[in-house]
Amino acid sequence: MSPLLLWPLLLTLLTVEPSGATLIRVPLRRVHLPQGILRPMRAWAELLEPSRLGAPPHGDSPFFVPLSKFLNVQYFGEIGLGTPPQNFSVVFDTGSSNLWVPSKSCRFFSLPCWFHHRYDPKASSSFCPNGTKFAIQYGTGRLSGILSQDKLTIGGINNVSVTFGEALWEPSLVFAFASFDGIFGLGFPALAVDGVPTPLDVMVEQGLLDKPVFSFYLNRDFEGTHGGELVLGGSDPAHYIPPLTFVPVTIPAYWQIHMDRVMVGTGLTLCAQGCAAIVDTGTSLITGPSEEIRALHRAIGGLPWLAGEHFIQCSKIPTLPPISFLLGGVWFNLTAQDYVIQISQGGFRLCLSGFQALDVPPPAGPLWILGDVFLRTYVAVFDRGNTSRGARVGLARSRVQGGGGAAQAQFSD
């Protein structure tokens, strides 16, 4: 999970027909932001007390949740908790498995609480106390609080009874400047702190989704205002160019897969002997072991800056080599237009590399993390599997869309 620490976004809710297979889209608006500095927060989760992985149940039909994009490197959506719903902006994060939001009862010196929406149990007629203490340690931030139970509203689904965290103490300033209120985990149950059932499992168990499948479409039209969609229960073929290439999950905790190798143009091979990779919607950039990322930046002319970021000379973007990832026997290519983050404001143009070094120690690492820079170009379908087939991730080239229109929804086979 790697949120950005900048300005808030305007979010809207998406409505759907619960029994239909037609997507109904509501365009999401992108705020025109003042000139500023990009400061990604690497917060790959080191979650405590993992629980056992259970077999997912089955249920009903697909629903859709809107995503807002921030400078094309961070995406947010809106959920509701309680009756009537109290709205929160959340990062939908496949790198963690718990849902949490700030609490109305947070400590006075917990600065992030004062800059974000806070859950008020007294304002909800469906609140059910739990009181169990929880704590989550991320790579550059931590929080603690208590567990509570209430009704979740998400993308047209109502009355989902979920257990979530009320954050009482967020000592890390990184959360104070975050544009989101909380985090909605979409990882496997093995990552869930205190063994709390994941929101996805709960929706399937309560018969609100047909299958434990969801997909992410992140709009890569930089000029558009539509941020994308999280599709719960299936995938939308209007989002991608077939076919989907499915790669099996190797360790069902994070959405971890095997990557055969990475090529920078035709002259540099990384991950030469194969390596582990995590498909992580909560990470803004693509990360890899520091030695390999240094070699990559040398190859594309990246100039070191603060906090591990690298400048790219904007004028050189047309001449930069493609960077290709071999996954499931298929090459997934990123052009410089895909992997260079371009920020323009008031006549000023800044270009930054979409790659950053991150050394994840053993036994989890070393590994690569394919974050939003990768997922803008490729739709990802996350399939938890069933009794006859294991978990897998499907990838296909995304379509450039400006939002609007309708399409037929589908489930993974």
228: β partners? 218
The residue from 93, 150, 236, 372 that is catalytic is 93
Q: Are 96 and 45 in contact (CB under 8 A)?
A: yes
At residue 222, the pLDDT reads 59
Percent of the chain with pLDDT over 90: 50
pTM of the model: 0.83
Q: Are 190 and 252 in contact (CB under 8 A)?
A: yes
Stretch 256-278: mean pLDDT, rounded? 96
> What average pLDDT is seen over the chain?
79
85 pLDDT band, cuts 50/70/90, is very high
pLDDT score of 126 more than 80: yes
Cα gap 86→405, rounded to integer Å:
29
Number of domains in the chain: 2
Range of the domain at 187: 62-209
Stretch 194-199: mean pLDDT, rounded? 94
Stretch 328-357: mean pLDDT, rounded? 92
Which residue type sits at 249?
Answer: V
Stretch 52-63: mean pLDDT, rounded? 35
Among 116-120, 245-249, 344-348, the minimum mean pLDDT is found in: 344-348
30 is a domain residue: no
27 is a domain residue: no
The tokens 């509501």 sit on which residue? 26
Most confident of 12-16, 49-53, 245-249, 357-361: 245-249
91 is a domain residue: yes
Q: Is residue 368 domain-shared with residue 258, that is, in the same domain? A: yes
156 pLDDT band, cuts 50/70/90, is confident
Q: Is residue 181 domain-shared with residue 283, that is, in the same domain? A: no
pLDDT score of 86 more than 90: yes
404 is a domain residue: no
Strand order in the sheet with 323-327: 268-270, 261-264, 323-327, 330-334
Q: Is residue 120 domain-shared with residue 261, that is, in the same domain? A: no
* 413 catalytic residue (yes or no): no
* Exposure string over 231-257, b if 16+ CB within 10 A, otherwise e: bbbbbbbbbbeeebbbbebeebbbbbb
Cα gap 5→376, rounded to integer Å:
20
Give the model confidence (pLDDT) of 283-304 as tens digits. Answer: 889 999 999 999 999 999 999 9
Among 6-20, 255-269, 392-406, the minimum mean pLDDT is found in: 6-20
Q: Is residue 240 domain-shared with residue 317, that is, in the same domain? A: yes
Cα gap 32→195, rounded to integer Å:
41
The residue from 150, 201, 280, 383 that is catalytic is 280
User: What CATH number corresponds to the domain at position 90?
Assistant: 2.40.70.10
Greater model confidence, 84 or 372 = 84
pLDDT score of 374 more than 60: yes
Q: Are 43 and 141 in contact (CB under 8 A)?
A: yes
12 pLDDT band, cuts 50/70/90, is very low
Q: Is residue 373 domain-shared with residue 240, that is, in the same domain? A: yes
Stretch 202-216: mean pLDDT, rounded? 89
294: β partners? none
At residue 176, the pLDDT reads 75
pLDDT score of 21 more than 70: no
Q: Are 44 and 360 in contact (CB under 8 A)?
A: yes
Q: Is residue 135 domain-shared with residue 79, that is, in the same domain? A: yes
Among 58-72, 93-107, 134-148, 157-171, the minimum mean pLDDT is found in: 58-72
Strand order in the sheet with 255-259: 63-66, 228-232, 213-218, 378-383, 392-398, 240-252, 255-259, 275-279, 367-370, 286-288, 355-357
Q: Is residue 70 domain-shared with residue 171, that is, in the same domain? A: yes
Q: What's the N-to-C CA distance of the chain in angstroms?
A: 29
At residue 33, the pLDDT reads 34
Q: Is residue 296 domain-shared with residue 389, that is, in the same domain? A: yes
Most confident of 169-178, 194-203, 206-215: 194-203
Q: Are 325 and 296 in contact (CB under 8 A)?
A: no
pLDDT score of 310 more than 80: yes
234 pLDDT band, cuts 50/70/90, is confident
286 is a domain residue: yes
17 is a domain residue: no
Among 17-21, 74-78, 226-230, 260-264, the minimum mean pLDDT is found in: 17-21
342 is a domain residue: yes
Backbone CA torsion sign across 51, 55, 60, 66? positive
At residue 224, the pLDDT reads 52
Q: Is residue 240 domain-shared with residue 177, that is, in the same domain? A: no
Q: How many Cβ atoms sit within 10 Å of the Cβ of residue 1?
A: 26
Helix (H) or strand (E) holding 262: strand 261-264
Cα gap 70→310, rounded to integer Å:
19
**SS3 (DSSP) at 315:** helix
225 is a domain residue: no
413 pLDDT band, cuts 50/70/90, is very low
Cα gap 84→123, rounded to integer Å:
8
pLDDT score of 405 more than 50: no
Among 171, 190, 209, where does a domain finish?
A: 209
DSSP secondary structure letter of residue 265: T
* 93 catalytic residue (yes or no): yes
